[in-house]
Amino acid sequence: MPTRSESPLPEITREQLTRSAVVAESNQGVVYRLTLGGRDLAIKAARGNRTTGLVNRLALAREHAAYRRLHGLSGIPLCHGLIDGRYLVLDHVRARPFRDAPIDDRFFDRLLITIREMHARGVAHGDLKRKSNLLVDTEGAPVLIDFGAAVVQRGGWHPLNRRLFEFMRRTDLNAWIKLKYGGYDGVSAADRPLLDRSLLERVLGRLRG
């Protein structure tokens, strides 16, 4: 992945954000693919009314903070900045959804390295069990996206933040196990120390069947 700093980008206008440029959307936001300043970019825009729009813009700000902390880390799209608190600007990554891509034996080893390096930088993704948040690039390497639920570890004495970060850190590792094994059965002796499901995860797992 490139490791240049966030750089100024041309102003983004509503006229540029057409339906034909949409590559993904959800209740929280819409992702557009645009070429600006000679760069192939993914623009994530918050959506919603006055209340939900504010919540979604706060999620974009949290996501931006996570990308800044992870700047230059392999497996994380390069972030160019957050414009007007509404448009998160990322490099568009040529990749396929995890569900549709062929996976070789090295994939999960590389994914675990990325997750551990992410945690070492003080970011826990928190939503890796959602397979749509994991892509496979043209070289077969993992790419993590959508940090809207991420927790960024704060310095100093912040006990609630630290507890939440630790919870999300464990959730990420449990997600890695689930992605690799398709569940929590048959986990190898080498990988079993990584499995540490919380009571909440166990309860939610039973509710989902």
Task: Please give the model's pTM, rounded to 2 decimal places.
Answer: 0.88
pLDDT at 33: 94
| Cα–Cα distance measured from residue 87 to residue 64, given in angstroms and rounded to the nearest whole number | 10
Contacts of 35 (CB under 8 A, 6+ apart): 41
Q: Which residue ranges of the chain lie beneath pLDDT 50?
A: 1-5
DSSP one-letter code for 142: E
Rounded CA separation 122/156 (Å): 13
- What pLDDT score was predicted for residue 47? 86
Half-sphere exposure (CA, 13 Å, Cβ side) for 29? 22
pLDDT of residue 2: 36
What backbone phi and psi angles, to 5 degrees, belong to 5?
-80, 165
User: What's residue 61's pLDDT?
Assistant: 94
Work out the mean pLDDT of the chain and round it to a whole number. 89
Are the CB atoms for 91 and 40 separated by under 8 Å? yes
Structural domains for the chain: 14-91 (3.30.200.20), 95-207 (1.10.510.10)
Confidence at residue 209, expressed as pLDDT on a 0 to 100 scale: 58
Contacts of 18 (CB under 8 A, 6+ apart): 32
